[in-house]
Structure 1
Amino acid sequence: MATHVGTSLAEGQSTNRPPLFNGSNYTYWKARMKIFIQVLDYDMWSIIVNGPHTPTKIIDGEESTKSEKEWDEVDKKMAQLNAKAMNVLYYALDANKFNRISTCSSAKEIWDRLEVTHEGTNQVKESKINMLVHKYELFKMEHDESITVMFTRFTDIINGLKSLGKSYTNSELVRKILRSLPRTWEAKVTAIQEAKDLNTLPLEELLGSLMTHELSMKQHQEEEVKKKRTIALKSTAPPDEETDDTEDEEQDEEMALITRRFKKFLRKRKQGMRKRPFTKGEQSVSSIPRRKQKMIS
């Protein structure tokens, strides 16, 4: 049974449907809508940016506007292109937003009104740019933040600036990312600076290199944690019977060695006492007559 694909698809599932704007996240919708119109017809995008074509004629050396009856084929084609652009924008807005632009007479007028409504006047834009530039200059990778999360925050800032007309070169973005990394990444930053040309290094390649290094760091940290846990378990584990027997044997051997050394020391001392010569006034017990020995004893 064949499945019919077309109007039943939700918004965002078909390249033939303009992205719907309901009043939230105008920057996101604007970027998508710009690409959608350019793909549909680049001349249509030019009509939106530069304004509709005004048919004119020259009379007596002076330029004047043609009436609709005087339009030629080119004039009609350009007018039709403006109508197509307005129609695309109509389909991209919900009922509430359509009411705000329903009185506009050209696609450029619609686009400009949406910009002023959701981005503000030039003064407001300048304030928003200054705020985002400040965030860009102070941008740093936060503690325990992954490279992916950090890069997402960074992308939000530069996309916001780009939508307001402020952009940075790829080289500037690469250098900013490297400056934003903490000291623990210093070795990797130095390696990239020495091995790569930062003027030509794509931002996506830098992201891939940093993510690979992040995985290596995490793996190393996990191995260190496992080693520490193993050492801690060994130090707190109760000794087994074999360990007790070994310790007892070692203590017995040490005691026997100490005993042997002590006995050897006594023997040497005893031998020294026997061989020691008598000093003046000393007599050996054997040289004293037995009678006197009995009296002494």
Structure 2
Amino acid sequence: MAQESYVEGCSIQIPPLLEPNGFCFWKARFETYVKSKDIDIWQVIQNVDFYFEVEDLKTKLMKETPYELLKDDEKKQLGNNNEANMTLYNALPLKNCKIDLLTQEYEKFSISNKETIDSGFTRFNVVVTSLKSLDPDYSSKNHVRKFLHALPLKWRAKVTSIEEAEELATLPLDELVGNLKVYEMILENDGVVSKTTTKDKVKSLALKAKVTREQTSDDSDSQGGSNEDVDEEEEA
């Protein structure tokens, strides 16, 4: 029988949990459990997700039907896709669920523009270490290439140079991170120098403008004095 849990006095059935070396017995119990809930959910688990298509009027090709155009019964069938996935997750051992979630996090991993290499590597290392502890096969994956491709666009030139100069299959991840941290410091220093140079240019232009104004003022005063002397000589 399926296990039961209690929430606020109500009994909620959960699917039978898959146990080691008990697949055949579990499969029969699981099928009975799912069919008793909804036969459509069993169809999704056995085959593929429900999917509805409509012809694109411009391209004449088939595309996924927008949700707002679906009929009520079609929306319900799409809901069965999520229900089927959740039922399977609840029936799997906790280890398998963790592996699935960590795998998704690994595949979608990315580093933002504002994030440092240290911060990105810390997050990445947590995911990789956790996966290795649950699934030994992940120790053989090329994490170097994955980390490189997770870097933001401003790193593209550096990524390309590393891929051309290094044998990624044998490059240790720690060595890669050290290389990237050195380059990160160069980028930061270039940014500081650029800002300083810009400030110096602004100060220089301001100083030149000030000197020019003072020279113009002095010349005007000098010309004014000369004119007065000429007027006095004429009057004499």
- The TM-score normalised by the length of structure 1 is 0.40
Answer 1 or 2: which has greater strand percent.
2
Whose radius of gyration is greater, 1 or 2? 1
